[in-house]
Amino acid sequence: MNRYIFALIVLSVNFFTACATNKITGRSQAMLVSDDAAAQQSYQAYSQLLSQAAQKRALDDDPYQLTRVQSIAKPLIVQAIKLRPEAQGWRWEVHVLKSNEVNAWCMAGGKMAVYTGLLQKIQPTDDELAAVMGHEISHALLSHQAEKISRAQMQKAGITAGVLAGALFGVNLGGMASLADSVATLGLQLPNSREAESEADKVGIELAAKAGFNPEAAVTLWQKMIKVSGGGTPEWLSTHPNPESRIAAMQVMARNLMPVYEAARKKP
């Protein structure tokens, strides 16, 4: 019996000490896993992914596309470092991967990729591509990968705590672990993901505007995204905000950021 009590105490202490306030958003985040640890995982995964893509001749097969993507990423990274100075030490890198998927991402530590499916199906302008990349860079700046890993670990630990508590009172809850995990995913992971996406929208459009890219392009980008995807999933059961709600929020943000964009364009 004592070992169950001890285990519950350890899990409780971990829950209460595993949160940190994000310096950019001011939001409290689950941070069982540090940004450095998440970055190290990213570096390893990114290296393996690039190696596999190269073997399949799916890595940077169009010099023009690569040059374009890297040239757009450069000023965004400059603004990212201004917003979060420790990002200066990240091993920033961006490549183009040959894939039909409409996607782009930025791992913890600044490892990025843009898929040819996005470039070909969306056919983004430079401003629109900057909106995509600014959004993805913001996920890394806001520690969303470390948070996601941390919340997944806390979710599993919480289920373990429930099973231990049941054992403490003579109730076997082991068979409910799978169901509890599914419920926890809907109740814990998805709301955080929607919040993370909204945060990345806000910070990403600001990065793009400060880098001299038109913030209104974020609106036209997502209009194209909706057209290509054929619509969005219900907001209450999605890892992304409702597309129409997202566009409406971006229209307001873009309007407010136009003076920032215009000032950036005037700089030599």
- The reported pLDDT for the residue numbered 228 is 85
As a whole number, mean pLDDT of residues 240-248 equals 79
As a whole number, mean pLDDT of residues 207-226 equals 95
Cβ atoms < 10 Å from Cβ of 264: 17
- The reported pLDDT for the residue numbered 154 is 60
With bands split at pLDDT 50, 70 and 90, how would you rate the model's confidence at 243? confident
How far CA 177 is from CA of 128, 157, 185, 233, in Å, comes to: 44, 11, 12, 28
More confident residue, 179 or 214: 214
User: Over the stretch 107-125, which tens digit does the pLDDT of each residue have?
Assistant: 999 999 999 999 999 999 9
pLDDT at 4 exceeding the cut of 50: no
Pairing type for strands 93-97 and 111-115 reads parallel
As a whole number, mean pLDDT of residues 189-201 equals 74
User: Over the stretch 134-167, which tens digit does the pLDDT of each residue have?
Assistant: 999 999 999 888 888 776 666 554 434 443 444 4
With bands split at pLDDT 50, 70 and 90, how would you rate the model's confidence at 28? confident
Pairing type for strands 19-21 and 28-30 reads antiparallel
CA–CA separation, 152 and 68 (whole Å): 36
User: Over the stretch 29-67, which tens digit does the pLDDT of each residue have?
Assistant: 877 778 888 888 889 999 999 999 999 999 999 999 999
- The reported pLDDT for the residue numbered 201 is 93
| Residue 188 burial (C-beta neighbours within 10 Å; 0-12, 13-18, 19+) | middle
Are 111 and 198 spatial neighbours (Cβ–Cβ below 8 Å)? no
Of the chain, the end-to-end C-alpha distance in Å amounts to 70
pLDDT at 172 exceeding the cut of 60: no
More confident residue, 76 or 197: 76
Q: How many residues does the chain have?
A: 268
Q: Which residues are catalytic?
A: 136
CA–CA separation, 169 and 106 (whole Å): 46
As a whole number, mean pLDDT of residues 196-211 equals 95
Pairing type for strands 104-106 and 111-115 reads antiparallel
What is the H or E stretch that residue 144 is in?
Answer: helix 144-168
- The reported pLDDT for the residue numbered 32 is 75
CA–CA separation, 61 and 114 (whole Å): 13
Please tell me what DSSP assigns to residue 89.
G
